[in-house]
């Protein structure tokens, strides 16, 4: 919560991803173990504290969708690979007008079903929690469902049932089924009593966990976007 106030006081529009993940973790979300480094020399300090494979992300206030500009590298086996990719981005990002402020190195989560969990502050209804399935389902098909906060367990289950893509949750087409319980849990942490949206309503206008990666046995928030209220 402190991080939200500081970021707003600094005039930022969006909370940086590491602070966003720390905030999510304080509400009980599972997030990948991560370190933030300023330069390649700092990678040595990471040593054995993170488990391979790693993910490298360039952090910059100028970037909204990191993967669109090549600011995310997945599946890096060694810290030497991380360093090489960092050098690569140092060369490629300035061409796009991006000057990374720091670098996020984190553990790569095992594959799963990618969901979106988040919310908006509606001028009429106040905090509203949202869920959808990741990728094209949210972006192209707008297959999402909303509820006014706070929600309870039954509301969360109904939200999932409402999705046109609900069948995917049950493991359609040979996919592993995702843990519904883990998504319901995340929805309650986001939109329930005492959840992120109600607690952060004064400071934040929008929250997006995109994606929440859901497997048979749990869910992990691998991205975190908090849009700050101006002022
Ligand atoms: P963007 O700013 O483009 O949304 P993300 O941080 O969401 O960047 O990363 C892009 C994609 O990379 C995610 O949708 C997810 O598929 C994958 N990804 C990112 N971080 C991780 C991670 N720690 N473990 C596994 N996959 C990840
Ligand atoms: Mg994302």
What is the per-residue pLDDT across 106-140, written as a single tens digit (0 to 9) for each? 999 999 999 999 999 999 999 999 999 987 777 77
Q: How many CA atoms lie within 13 A of 231 on its CB side?
A: 5
199 lines ligand 1 (CB under 6 A): no
For 43-81, what is each residue's pLDDT tens digit?
999 988 999 999 999 999 999 999 999 999 999 999 999
3-state secondary structure (DSSP) of residue 78: coil
So what's the pLDDT on residue 152?
Answer: 98
Atom of ligand 1 nearest to the CA of 134: 14
CB 186 within 8 A of CB 116: no
So what's the pLDDT on residue 142?
Answer: 82
Instruction: State how far the Cα of 15 lies from the Cα of 227, in Å rounded to an integer.
Output: 7
**Bigger pLDDT: 153 vs 168:** 153
Nearest CA to ligand 1 atom 20: 222
Say which ligand is closest to the CA of 135. 1
Return all residues near 16 (Cβ < 8 A) that are at least 6 apart.
7, 59, 61
So what's the pLDDT on residue 42?
Answer: 95
For range 173-185, the mean pLDDT: 89
20 lines ligand 1 (CB under 6 A): no
Indicate the top mutation candidate among 61, 68, 74, 220 to test ligand 1's pocket, ranked by most ligand atoms within 8 A of CB.
74
Sign of CA dihedral 35, 39, 45, 51: positive
Instruction: State how far the Cα of 132 lies from the Cα of 8, in Å rounded to an integer.
Output: 28
So what's the pLDDT on residue 165?
Answer: 87
Say which ligand is closest to the CA of 67. 1
So what's the pLDDT on residue 171?
Answer: 81
Output the CA 112–ligand 2 centroid distance in Å. Answer: 15
β-strand pairing of 126-133 with 72-76: unpaired
pLDDT category, 189, cuts 50, 70, 90?
very high
Cis status of the peptide bond prior to 175, with omega within 30 of 0: no
Atom of ligand 1 nearest to the CA of 64: 2
**Bigger pLDDT: 172 vs 186:** 186
pLDDT, averaged across the chain = 94
Output the CA 29–ligand 2 centroid distance in Å. Answer: 16
Output the CA 123–ligand 1 centroid distance in Å. Answer: 30
* pTM across the whole model: 0.96
Q: Is the pLDDT of residue 5 over 90?
A: yes
For 91-103, what is each residue's pLDDT tens digit?
999 999 999 999 9
So what's the pLDDT on residue 137?
Answer: 73
pLDDT category, 166, cuts 50, 70, 90?
confident
Output the CA 210–ligand 2 centroid distance in Å. Answer: 4
Instruction: State how far the Cα of 21 lies from the Cα of 24, in Å rounded to an integer.
Output: 5
């Amino acid at each position: 919560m402190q991080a939200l106030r500081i970021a707003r006081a600094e005039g930022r529009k969006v909370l940086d991803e590491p602070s966003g993940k720390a905030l999510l973790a304080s509400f009980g979300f599972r997030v990948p173990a991560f370190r933030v480094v300023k330069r390649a020399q700092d990678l040595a300090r990471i040593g054995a504290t993170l488990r391979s494979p790693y993910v490298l992300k360039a952090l910059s206030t100028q970037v909204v969708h990191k993967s669109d500009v090549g600011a995310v590298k997945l599946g890096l086996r060694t810290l030497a690979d991380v360093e090489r990719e960092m050098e690569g981005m140092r060369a490629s990002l300035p061409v796009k007008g991006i000057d990374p402020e720091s670098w996020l190195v984190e553990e790569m989560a095992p594959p799963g079903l990618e969901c979106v969990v988040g919310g908006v502050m509606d001028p009429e209804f106040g905090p509203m929690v949202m869920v959808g399935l990741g990728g094209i389902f949210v972006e192209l098909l707008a297959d999402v469902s909303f509820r006014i906060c706070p929600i309870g367990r039954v509301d969360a289950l109904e939200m999932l049932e409402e999705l046109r893509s609900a069948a995917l949750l049950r493991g359609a087409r040979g996919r592993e089924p995702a843990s519904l319980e883990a998504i319901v849990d995340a929805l309650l942490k986001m939109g329930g009593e005492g959840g992120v949206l109600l607690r952060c309503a004064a400071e934040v206008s929008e929250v997006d966990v995109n994606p929440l990666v859901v497997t048979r046995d749990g869910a992990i928030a691998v991205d975190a976007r908090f849009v700050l209220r101006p002022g």
